[in-house]
Structure 1
Amino acid sequence: MVSARFQRYYDNGSLFITSRDNFNGYPVLCIANRKRIPCTSENILVTLKPGSDTGATLKQIIDFRRGVAASPVNLSGCQAITYDQGEI
């Protein structure tokens, strides 16, 4: 879902991500097609876990987008499991 929202704004040629530390009790990252658009329920990109650092998460996303970071941003807090020839 996050990737689809991100891609939709990217395809339209404008992509601005902002953060808000408390939206209905959760930290969120919002996306818009121009600067200084407030976070609303309509433009939330992702809701983060309570206590998450929105600024650090935003930096990770931007670094990944620019190719500075080699690995995807883990937004769920879970550990990724990979399989290689049937082995975990």
Structure 2
Amino acid sequence: VTGMSTGHPVRSLRNQMTREYLKLEKENADFMELEKLTLGSLRKAVQDGDTVNGTLMAGQIAGLIRREQTCREIIEETVQQAQECIAAQGQHKKI
């Protein structure tokens, strides 16, 4: 989710708070109304663990994620790709 009311993009994971924010933004809510909604929302998420009403900040990479994997799956896939690259390099040297 990317909010743009302030002119500064903020990326966060979609939850109840962001849905409400986007709804208000679409209805042309004024800046103070949007500020009131988000006041303390980062603290709610980070310190209190509130994943419903808190702002769960996300980096630019969040928009590129297409599937969820466990750490084990990611590591195994990375090792397999590395082994394939190494094997391919060995084949090129023989030619």
Which range, TM-score by smaller chain?
under 0.3
TM-score, with length taken from structure 1: 0.27
* Greater percentage in strand: 1
- Which structure has more helix as a fraction of its residues? 2
The structure having more radius of gyration, on CA atoms, is 2
TM-score by length of 2: 0.26
